[in-house]
Amino acid sequence: MESGPGRAGRYVTHLLGSASYRAFIPAPLPPRPSIRMDQGLTRLLSDADRVLGRLDGVASVLPNPDLFVAMYVRQEAVLSSQIEGTQSTLEDILEYEAHGATADQPRDIEEVVNYIATMKHGLHRLDTLPLSLRLLREIHGGLLTGVRGQDRQPGNFRTSQNWIGPSGCTLAEAEFVPPSPHDMQIALHEFENFLHERNHLPILVHTALAHAQFETIHPFLDGNGRVGRLLITLLLCERDILRQPLLYLSHYLKAHRSQYYDRLTAIRNEGDWESWVQFFLRGVFEVSQAATDTARAILDMREEHRAKVSGRSSANNALRLLDFLFERPLISVRMAEGHLGCSYVTAANIIDDFQHLGLLREITGQQRHRRYRYDPYIALFHQQVAV
């Protein structure tokens, strides 16, 4: 039994024993009628495009954009995974990368590590493979390999009905039920066609529609949110809107979680795509603005810190270590020794000098196996999250 057709799709009633439930089948994109780009939405799109372009431009003049991107990917991995209930922090990830797993780290840290590796894999695959269902399956498999959810068909679309609702709720009690496996396959085929389509839509609007549609289809048994958020960045990179993967909306979506779900629900129940696009574009604007400020702060801080160390003894090695800290902001003397190719004593002296300059802080309180953190750099990313 079907309810009346809507702009975004329709609900279909399924029987479940003596009970029933309604699953939603999304209509193909783009919406019909087309997105109404009124004056307010047009202005917001223009503002979002402008600050996103500014972010891409500022990042391109960083001494080594890849180092900034690496830190940004770490932060996004942490925030996106926290939306799914993980507890790992940015510092946990830096510690893991520098020294491997330790007993006092959160057990879910592997989920965040998987996210980082999967993001890199997805961006690399875009060089040879279009953004497609195949790539989304690869991304899903990478996210769930060896972690919570590894029993939820990693890398495969679901073959059973899933649903969304409070923990422990039944299918009949669900807040939202995505399409059945059969209807899902049809919706996914239409979705892939839309991904490949070069239509009249502005890319940011196209991306907003694609993300919402993916979340509505909910094609995996677990990990849909993380794949959907990665989809945003991958789309913008594939369409050359971003040269570096710098736009990550997880902080915005986490901070406005209730509104995010309300806007998705309004699409399904009311066909209100415009309010969703407005919400999405506002997020692009806010996140791009904050990331641009961070990139500029990195430039200013790097010049300030280079000036501090350039007149010291072993200035050449000191400058090399300073640049290394942008890649590895948590280090040991052994790491510095290996990177610089100098003696242990020389590396230790440079690190000691950096401590006196306020660049590094020892974080273990031990006499052996000491570790040092580049607090000023890490603080810039925490400030962005606090914006």
* pLDDT reported for residue 66: 76
Task: State the average pLDDT over residues 236-244.
Answer: 90
Task: State the average pLDDT over residues 4-14.
Answer: 84
**At CA 118, angle to CA 116 and CA 121, rounded to 5?**
115
**Average pLDDT, rounded, for the chain:** 89
Higher confidence at residue 83 or residue 134?
Answer: 134
Write down the domain spans for the chain.
9-293, 313-386
Distance CA 159, CA 114 (A): 24
Tokens of 13: 């009633």
Q: Could you read off the pLDDT of 33-86 as tens digits, one per residue?
A: 999 999 999 999 999 999 999 988 887 777 777 777 888 888 888 888 888 777
Only one residue has tokens 């407005």, namely: 278
* pLDDT reported for residue 161: 94
* pLDDT reported for residue 386: 46
Only one residue has tokens 């009905």, namely: 161
Q: How confident is the model at residue 246 (pLDDT cuts 50, 70, 90)?
A: confident
State phi, psi for 216 to the nearest 5 degrees.
Answer: -70, -40
Q: Could you tell me which CATH number the domain at 313-386 has?
A: 1.10.10.10
Distance CA 241, CA 244 (A): 9
Is pLDDT above 70 for 358? yes
* pLDDT reported for residue 151: 67
Is pLDDT above 60 for 200? yes
Is pLDDT above 60 for 205? yes
Is pLDDT above 70 for 2? no
Q: Could you read off the pLDDT of 211-229 as tens digits, one per residue?
A: 999 999 999 999 999 999 9
pTM for the predicted model, two decimal places: 0.90
Distance CA 126, CA 135 (A): 9
Task: State the average pLDDT over residues 131-154.
Answer: 88
Is residue 78 within 8 Å of 94, Cβ to Cβ? Answer: no
CATH architecture of the domain covering 9-293: Orthogonal Bundle (1.10)
Q: Could you read off the pLDDT of 284-336 as tens digits, one per residue?
A: 999 999 989 988 898 899 999 999 998 777 889 999 999 999 989 999 999 99
Sheet holding 372-373, edge to edge: 330-331, 372-373, 361-362
